[in-house]
Amino acid sequence: KKMVRYRECLKNHAAAMGGNATDGCGEFMPSGEEGNIEALNCSACSCHTNFHRKEIEGEPSSWDCYHSPQHINRIGRKVILGHHHKNLIAPEAFGYPTGTN
């Protein structure tokens, strides 16, 4: 059986305001014993395991894929992560100057 670990919390507490703010929880710590429903919530940040980055032993992490330098694209002050470069939003859509008049 492969070991599953839940790492840092990725919940964006400022999403409703259009911002980005995480609570800084570095690793999931269950609130109860394994098998209990309380074990699905983190005792450090109170978030469900679904908000924590999942790492499966022997499998490449999605974290490695989306945070490698070749997959980071900057548009003004916005950072867009991902593989699908065809889906990037043009800078003018954010109201940022494009350098052309």
**CA dihedral over 49, 55, 59, 60, signed as positive or negative:** positive
pLDDT at residue 79 is higher than 80: no
- Report whether pLDDT(52) > 60: yes
- Nearest Cα residue to 63 out of 7, 20, 3, 1: 7
Look at 11 and 84; give whichever has higher pLDDT.
11
Strands (E), 17-98: 52-56, 72-75, 78-81
State yes or no: pLDDT of 82 exceeds 50: no
d(CA 49, CA 30): 9
Which of 2-16, 29-43, 71-85 comes out lowest in average pLDDT? 71-85
What's the pLDDT tens digit per position in 11-32? 999 999 999 999 889 999 999 9
Give pLDDT, residue 1.
79
Least confident of 10-24, 28-42, 49-63, 76-90: 76-90
